[in-house]
Amino acid sequence: MPTVSVDKEDLWERLGQKFSSEEFDKLCFEFGVELDEDTTGEVEAAIKQGLPAGRPQLKIEIPANRYDLLCIEGIARALRVFLKKEKAPEYKLVFPHGGEKGLIEVTVGPETAQVRPYFGSAVLRNVKFTQRSYESFLDLQDKLHQNICRKRQFVAIGTHDLDTITAPFRYEAKPPGNIKFIPLNKTQAYTAEELMTVYESDRHLARYLPIIRNSPVYPIIYDKEDRVLSFPPIINSEHSKITVNTRNIFIDLTATDQTKLNIVTNIMVTMFSEYCEEPFTIEPVKIIYPDGRTVISPDLSWRRTQAHASYINSCTGLSLSVTQVKDLLERMSLRTELLPEDTDTLNVAIPPTRPDILHECDIMEDAAIAYGFNNLPDAFPATSTVAQPLAISKLSDIIRHEWAYAGWVEVLPLILCSHEENFAWLNVADDGQTAVKIANPKTLEFQVVRTSLLPGLLKTIRENRSHALPLRVFETSDVVFKDVARERQARNARHAAAVWCNKTAGFEVVHGLLDRAMAMLEVPHIPGRGGGASDDDDDDETWGYYIQERSDPTFFPGRAATIYYRAPPPQTRPERTTRRSATASGADASRGGSGSGSWNDAEEIGKLGILHPSVLERFEIGYPCSALEFSLEAFRAKMPALWTNEDI
């Protein structure tokens, strides 16, 4: 959750009353935010010691989707409405003399489609800033950049002193060598190519350079006199910079996402339009796109929808009338009106400052906040149900419990790992069609979603090398694979894996662990498979698992095996298999066979073996290890009859 620091006395002045720390903490909780810290005590202590101290600050945590609360202006405005001290303001577009024909125009060049194709803009006229409100204006811009703008990747905001530039403006994209201007806080002109080098060592701006560095053209904004306003998303020009004395502000926004552009534009102008000579008025700008389409920016229209008292009551357990619901919603800055002769439906107008409201459930949540979550009635549900686990969870628990009983230690490593750990360190090639990769990983440790449990287990052993041998660890959890056939383009698969580390390899140990797991899953072993059994000897009722030697670069040559599973024929429902019946069926199973007359329907579900020395070297493990990993998905899909409701 973002944390916003606001000046304490300034906030009290805006709210029209003072609060104790406890009272304000309670107010924040009721409104759905949280008071994280009150620095009054620290400031007073510094003053007593004769140390320099600023004004007391209140640090408030706000929900990540409430962009209208990222500044003191938005917080104070929302709390005043919540406290019924004022109505939600009406934000108005004010056209200059001449109407739409008198609007400032921005022409968007066709080359911008290669880098940042969308443009938004607005003008704030006759602004009267104080030093604190000016700093709040810049701080909101930075918070939006870091939050919804995703560090300027989706949207970049530029602010300019309109009195120093001349309309109309042009938004273009040019080769970097053709762009030259004096950037903000510099005295020398640089080309865009030179700026990429100049700002490489800048702690603040260096993080934004990769956004456009590899683009053949760079975005640039000019005025009528060919003076540069902005080089988005990097820096504004020195010529048009704003100060605390700026009276007319031109705001430009370039973006790669139209929805986020609209949200950021509306938040910027609505929050600071209160400082205009006529509060809450914004002058729009006409934007002309290459295809001839014109857009008036910003769009401050209130979205219209409906809410129902019956729905809100059913979700909250209340019995509110439609009039009571209306009062609650208006405390959350939503305008509502009752429908004649309708005791259930309300027309709701959502302000441009509330992009977080997408559905009637969001309106219901606002009504619950206004009523007070602590005031909602406690009640038992009208129906009683008996929960039961998913089949895959039951399978996982059987494995987890049995392996833990055998003395193995369960571990829970992270599901993200580096690309090398998932592939190269296991001697596996990346075909580009297996792993889900993180587009913008925070660190090299979190590049892909794991496709195997082995990297996490081996890293766990690496970090516990000082423990006494043998080390026996296991995990039963999900891995993820690409799957273009699914809407989400990926699928989860439940795997079970274990690693044995000792002075000897211990292949027989993990082999025994596999046998024990299958015995508890009541999957019979099929002896003779992989050892010369004839495919001509068939048994339609044979099912179970067997292993067969394999060649795998992750494992030592000649010391690896594939785990195969052959499901029961679909026309039969196997009864609960006992140890005795499993042995009996195993005798028949040695003859091989399937319902189709071959063993081709036996699927590979896992592998086991002694890990290759190069794998152990990369994970910095100095002792031989044996590993086992297999999927539980086949048992969930093909053995539903093995558990009854009583078992679950």
**Over the stretch 468-483, which tens digit does the pLDDT of each residue have?**
999 999 999 999 999 9
Nearest to 422 by CA among 440, 409, 434, 439: 434
Output the pLDDT for position 535: 45
The pLDDT of residue 570 is above 70: no
Output the pLDDT for position 602: 83
- 54 or 144: which leads in pLDDT: 144
- The proportion of the chain whose per-residue pLDDT surpasses 70, expressed as a percent, equals 91
28: CB partners within 8 A, 6+ apart: 34, 35, 60
Confidence band of 637 (pLDDT split at 50, 70, 90): low
Q: How far is CA 309 from CA 319, 321, 611, in A?
A: 9, 7, 63
For 293, the 3-state DSSP assignment is: coil
Confidence band of 596 (pLDDT split at 50, 70, 90): very low
The pLDDT of residue 245 is above 60: yes
Nearest to 105 by CA among 263, 301, 289: 289
Output the pLDDT for position 209: 94
Confidence band of 441 (pLDDT split at 50, 70, 90): confident
The pLDDT of residue 627 is above 90: yes
Looking at 142-151, 270-279, 487-496, 541-550, which range is the least confident one? 541-550
Output the pLDDT for position 600: 59
- 52 or 128: which leads in pLDDT: 128
Output the pLDDT for position 629: 96
504: CB partners within 8 A, 6+ apart: 624
Looking at 91-105, 339-353, 575-589, which range is the least confident one? 575-589
Average pLDDT estimate for 456-478: 94
Average pLDDT estimate for 595-619: 81
For 548, the 3-state DSSP assignment is: strand
| Average pLDDT along the chain | 88
Average pLDDT estimate for 232-250: 95
Output the pLDDT for position 534: 43
Q: What pLDDT digit, counting tens, does each position of 166-219 carry?
A: 999 999 999 999 999 999 999 999 999 999 999 999 889 999 999 999 999 999
Please say whether the beta carbons of 142 and 294 come within 8 A.
Answer: no
Output the pLDDT for position 421: 94
In terms of DSSP bridges, do strands 281-282 and 92-93 run parallel, antiparallel, or are they unpaired? Answer: parallel
Output the pLDDT for position 529: 64
Output the pLDDT for position 636: 76
Burial track 119-145 (b if 16+ CB lie within 10 A, e otherwise): bbbbbbbebebeeebbebbebbbebbb
Output the pLDDT for position 537: 45
Confidence band of 527 (pLDDT split at 50, 70, 90): confident
The pLDDT of residue 645 is above 70: no
Output the pLDDT for position 639: 47
Predicted TM-score (pTM) of the model is 0.69
Confidence band of 54 (pLDDT split at 50, 70, 90): confident
Burial track 471-501 (b if 16+ CB lie within 10 A, e otherwise): bbbbbbbebbebeeeeeeeeebebbbbbbbb
Please say whether the beta carbons of 632 and 494 come within 8 A.
Answer: yes
Q: What pLDDT digit, counting tens, does each position of 416-427 carry?
A: 999 999 999 999
The pLDDT of residue 579 is above 90: no
Average pLDDT estimate for 152-163: 95
Interatomic CA distance for residues 168 and 468, integer angstroms: 75
Interatomic CA distance for residues 455 and 471, integer angstroms: 15
Average pLDDT estimate for 336-364: 93
Q: How far is CA 9 from CA 17, 36, 38, 54, 85, in A?
A: 10, 17, 12, 12, 18
Burial track 11-47 (b if 16+ CB lie within 10 A, e otherwise): beebbeeebeeeebbebbebbbbebbebbeeebeeee
For 397, the 3-state DSSP assignment is: helix
DSSP string for 230-253: EETTTEEBSTT---TT--SEEEEE
499: CB partners within 8 A, 6+ apart: 454, 457, 458, 461, 471, 472, 473, 474, 510, 611, 625, 626, 627, 628
